[in-house]
């Protein structure tokens, strides 16, 4: 899921926020108009914004100001670990690590790398954190060629040769690689950041909260109204103005992410090129999936799975959703508009 930011995701840019906040970029439906004002925290992080809503209680071990500071500290730490823009980040250190050498990594990095490894395997390479050279080649990354330049097959094959998600090894807190690849965690870092903020909140006693980092959500307990959190799935369109709701969900104790590319593409000589790159082909996707919403136990998992399904498309994406028992909601482009499709596990969320 995506906030409107300047940071380019390693795979795609995402549609507008799934949850809409009263205080700014969106409307968080569950928290509007309640008598007891929730605590709200927001600010910049990871090239985007974060928003946190906490239902206040006297039993908390932290003051409102302490909550604010702990949220900020948590996000600073995650950014220092996962950013490919910060020169001395832990991630960039792994990218520079010589082939064959081993280095100790943080427990957070190990968790994210293991999740990435698992999804790389389950998706047959559709989720690949070494996809950066292809993203740059197509003009969507931090070291990009002109965005409207279509690379040759030779250039694509050369860029694909620079990647390789199967060249990474993680074992007992150690990392090594068998190939000189660069890592990019943009498809999972913001979701993991939301999970880490949640840990900080719970350390202070909070059990009812919503965390959003760059559009990735983690919802816990009850909203300020005493019911499940209500979030809206945006109806696809070409304009940020006049956004409308496709579905209203009631969600608690889940991570939520929406991914799609219907606003993000360029055209060259009458051909439309998506910003979503399939690492297996080295080219933009061509299927009809407009957006996908994924619910998972953590925000990091939802974030990563949304990427996987966006890359593989509606048919393979639904097969994976059923296989993994994931609640997944899709909007698929047709000649007459958008068709809804959802997995068996999502049926309980349909109102």
Known binding residue 321? Answer is no
Known binding residue 281? Answer is no
Spatial separation of the C-alpha atoms in residues 229 and 249, rounded to whole Å = 8
Tell the burial category of 58 from Cβ atoms under 10 Å away from its Cβ (0-12, 13-18, 19+): exposed
Tell the burial category of 335 from Cβ atoms under 10 Å away from its Cβ (0-12, 13-18, 19+): exposed
- CB atoms inside a 10 Å sphere around CB 63: 11
Known binding residue 187? Answer is yes
CA angle 293, 265, 6 (to 5 degrees): 75
Rounded-to-10 torsion of CA 281, 287, 293, 294? -40
Backbone angles phi, psi at 292, to 5 degrees: -140, 135
Query: How far, in Å, are 141, 148, 149, 150, 195 from residue 269 at the CA level?
Result: 22, 10, 11, 10, 43
Spatial separation of the C-alpha atoms in residues 183 and 133, rounded to whole Å = 10
Q: What's the longest Cα–Cα distance across the chain?
A: 63
Enumerate the H helices of 83-223 as residue ranges: 90-96, 107-122, 132-137, 153-161, 189-203
Known binding positions = 187, 303, 307
Known binding positions for Mg(2+) = 187, 303, 307
């Amino acid at each position: 899921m995506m906030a409107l930011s300047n940071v380019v995701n390693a795979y795609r840019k995402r549609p507008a926020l799934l949850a809409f906040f009263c205080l700014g970029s969106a409307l968080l439906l569950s928290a509007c108009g309640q008598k007891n004002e929730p605590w709200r925290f927001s600010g910049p992080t990871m090239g985007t914004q974060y928003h946190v809503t906490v239902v206040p209680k006297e039993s908390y071990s932290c003051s409102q100001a302490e909550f604010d500071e702990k949220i900020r500290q948590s996000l600073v730490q995650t950014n220092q670990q996962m950013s490919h823009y910060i020169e001395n980040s832990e991630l960039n250190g792994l990218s520079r690590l010589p082939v064959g050498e081993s280095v100790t990594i943080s427990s957070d990095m190990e968790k994210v790398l293991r999740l990435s490894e698992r999804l790389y395997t389950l998706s047959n390479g559709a989720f690949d954190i070494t996809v950066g050279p292809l993203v740059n080649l197509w003009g969507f990354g931090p070291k990009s060629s002109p965005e409207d330049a279509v690379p040759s097959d030779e250039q694509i094959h050369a860029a694909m040769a620079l990647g390789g998600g199967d060249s990474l090894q993680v074992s007992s807190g150690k990392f090594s690689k068998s190939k000189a690849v660069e890592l990019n965690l943009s498809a999972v870092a913001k979701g993991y950041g939301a999970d880490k903020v949640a840990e900080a909140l719970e350390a202070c006693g909070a059990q009812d909260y919503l965390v959003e980092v760059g559009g990735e959500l983690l919802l816990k307990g009850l909203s300020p109204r005493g019911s499940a959190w209500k979030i809206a799935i945006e109806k696809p369109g070409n304009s940020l103005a006049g956004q409308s709701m496709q579905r209203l969900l009631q969600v608690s104790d889940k991570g939520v992410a929406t991914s799609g590319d219907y606003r993000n593409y360029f055209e060259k000589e009458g051909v439309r090129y998506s910003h979503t790159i399939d690492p297996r082909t080295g080219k933009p996707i061509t299927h009809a999936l407009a957006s996908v919403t994924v619910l998972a136990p953590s925000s990091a998992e939802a974030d990563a799975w949304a990427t996987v399904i966006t890359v593989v498309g509606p048919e393979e994406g639904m097969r994976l959703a059923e296989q993994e028992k994931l609640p997944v909601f899709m909007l698929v482009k047709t000649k007459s508009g958008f068709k809804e499709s959802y997995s068996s596990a999502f049926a309980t969320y349909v109102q």
